Amino acid sequence: MLTSYPWPASPEREQLVVRLRPGDDQSDVTVLEWAGERFVGARPADRSERTLVAADPMVFASPGLFDTQINGYLGRGFKDADLGPDGIRDLCWSILLSGTTRFLPTVTTDAPEVMEAAMCSVHAACRIYPDVAAVVSGIHQEGPWLSPVDGPRGAHPRQHISLPDPGQFDRLQQAAGGRIALLTLAPEVDGAIDLIRFVSSRGIAVCLGHHDADAETIHRAVAAGARGVTHLGNGCHTTMPRHPNVLWEQAAEDRLYAGIIADGHHLPPSTIKVLYRAKPRDRLILVSDAVDMAGAMAGLYHVRGAIAELTPEGRFGFYRSPTLIGAAVPLARCLANLVAFADEGKTPVAYLPAVTDVPSALIGEAGTCLPLGRPGTPATFVIWRWERDDPSLVPQRIVVLGRTVYDIETQPTTVPFGRTPQIAAQEEADQWRESRP
């Protein structure tokens, strides 16, 4: 059954009184004004208008977040063969309702026909549904031209890893309707440097990921047009020389944008803090890298013939094992985590570029959405409630291109969970763990 989602005509003119940062400073209370899908301006609220702002000082507004790496959410994945355009729409709305209003559906290494089918479905959904086209800013192709070596390869299936092929890229781009905006590859594999030149010359961003390249190869890749690093600190060997190594070389290369998974599990808080300090502010990007179980209730589940545990903190891994299965928190949680991990006494507003303007710059989009309400920019924003100690950012209202698509009180839009996960009993989990070597 098709789910109905609120996508009315954009309003002729509308305004909203908001707080631009958490706290009691009355000078932060602002009137956002928009006409149709674009802001016409933002001005300080007068005394009478200030009474209309949310009473809770932890409620504030920001541009919607931009996630350049997300594989799935709420029981659906972008490679699921049975989704089709309608299922893609459900998946996109589930991501949107987390406060991520723009993203790159990520299609990872698989058989060529599987990757092509996934890209076809995303493209078809964008053509059919204007609400999907409004939130999908392109497609992130992650693989199959990655390292075949255990460790750097990560969870990408070895049997589908292959050498870079411009012809295959063209076929995938055709299936995607020209929507591939970001390609992740390993620069040390044969033909990768040439492919970087080929792809980047077409205006498509190339990131280095799932690789074990040395410093010289990394510099050659940058010279050929590589622009960033996919999930810096992950997709590499678990043990490596203290120095030099692939982590330090990429962190030190100021020309490279760096995506980091700040869920608190893929990288420890101390590593995130160091990488945040190492990269220039206009090169740091937060990503969720969320998988289909993101957004599910905490508990024990049957996954791939094993028992997995999703904790209340968002850690998704094998039961009582240090091995992770995937990321399971939205980008908003990563932003809230960065505030805590950086430990600078600031609010989420200080780190907004890493989830708004910097990812836009990575894929070559002109313009900026900061400051919020700048005339001519898309009227897309989120009203959040920030919980400092949790830490969390919970959407209270979401506006996309002038349209209110969610309000926690008056319009609590929901998306049904996709594939129902098979819950495991505690006794089953304990027996499974005891059977492991």
pLDDT in tens, 154-189: 999 999 999 999 999 999 999 999 999 999 999 999
Cα 258 to Cα 286: distance, rounded to the nearest angstrom: 8
Q: What is the mean pLDDT of residues 324-342?
A: 97
Residue 34 exposed, middle or buried by CB count within 10 Å (0-12, 13-18, 19+): buried
Element (H, E) at 433: helix 426-435
Residue 137 exposed, middle or buried by CB count within 10 Å (0-12, 13-18, 19+): buried
Which CATH homologous superfamily contains domain 65-352?
Metal-dependent hydrolases (3.20.20.140)
For residue 414, what are the CA distances in angstroms to 92, 94, 378, 379, 417? 12, 8, 24, 22, 9
Q: How many CA atoms lie within 13 A of 162 on its CB side?
A: 13
Q: Where are the alpha helices (DSSP H) in 129-268?
A: 130-135, 166-175, 192-200, 215-224, 246-252
Cα 109 to Cα 235: distance, rounded to the nearest angstrom: 13
> Residue 1: pLDDT above 60?
no
- What sign does the dihedral 115-87-303-295 (CA atoms) show? positive
How confident is residue 25, by pLDDT bands cut at 50, 70 and 90? very high
- What sign does the dihedral 407-412-413-414 (CA atoms) show? positive
Question: What is the average pLDDT score of the chain?
Answer: 96
pLDDT tens readout for residues 62-119: 999 999 999 999 999 999 999 999 999 999 999 999 999 999 999 999 999 999 999 9
DSSP secondary structure letters along 182-203? EEEE-TTSTTHHHHHHHHHTTT
Name the residue ranges covered by the structural domains of the chain: 65-352
Cα 274 to Cα 277: distance, rounded to the nearest angstrom: 5
pLDDT tens readout for residues 346-405: 999 999 999 999 999 999 997 788 899 999 999 999 999 999 999 999 999 999 999 999
pLDDT tens readout for residues 275-312: 999 999 999 999 999 999 999 999 999 988 889 999 99
What is the CA angle 55-329-7, rounded to 5?
65
Nearest to 186 by CA among 219, 150, 148, 224: 148
pLDDT of residue 419: 84
pLDDT of residue 136: 98
How confident is residue 435, by pLDDT bands cut at 50, 70 and 90? confident
Q: What are phi and psi of 386, to 5 degrees?
A: -95, 130
- Let me know: does 74 contact 295? Beta carbons within 8 Å: yes
Q: What is the four-CA torsion angle of 31, 35, 41, 42, rounded to 10 degrees?
A: 10
Q: What is the pTM of this model?
A: 0.97
Task: Reduce the DSSP state of residue 412 to 3 states and report it.
Answer: coil
| Residues designated as active site | 289
Copy the structure tokens of residue 22. 């958490």
pLDDT of residue 180: 98
Task: Reduce the DSSP state of residue 112 to 3 states and report it.
Answer: helix
Q: What are phi and psi of 434, to 5 degrees?
A: -65, -25
Cα 101 to Cα 399: distance, rounded to the nearest angstrom: 9
How confident is residue 256, by pLDDT bands cut at 50, 70 and 90? very high
Copy the structure tokens of residue 1. 């059954």
Q: What is the mean pLDDT of residues 325-330?
A: 96
For residue 95, what are the CA distances in angstroms to 59, 280, 310, 385, 387? 21, 28, 18, 18, 20
Q: Which residue has the tokens 């001005």?
A: 43
pLDDT tens readout for residues 359-369: 999 999 977 88
Cα 40 to Cα 377: distance, rounded to the nearest angstrom: 8
pLDDT of residue 420: 78
98: left (phi over 0), alpha (psi -120 to 50) or beta: alpha
Residues 6+ apart with CB under 8 A from 158: 148
How confident is residue 339, by pLDDT bands cut at 50, 70 and 90? very high
pLDDT of residue 334: 98
> Residue 266: pLDDT above 90?
yes
pLDDT tens readout for residues 403-424: 999 999 999 999 999 987 889 8
Cα 216 to Cα 221: distance, rounded to the nearest angstrom: 9
Q: What are phi and psi of 19, to 5 degrees?
A: -105, 130
pLDDT tens readout for residues 122-158: 999 999 999 999 999 999 999 999 999 999 999 999 9
Q: What share of the chain is helix, strand, coil (3-state, %, to 5)?
A: 30, 25, 45
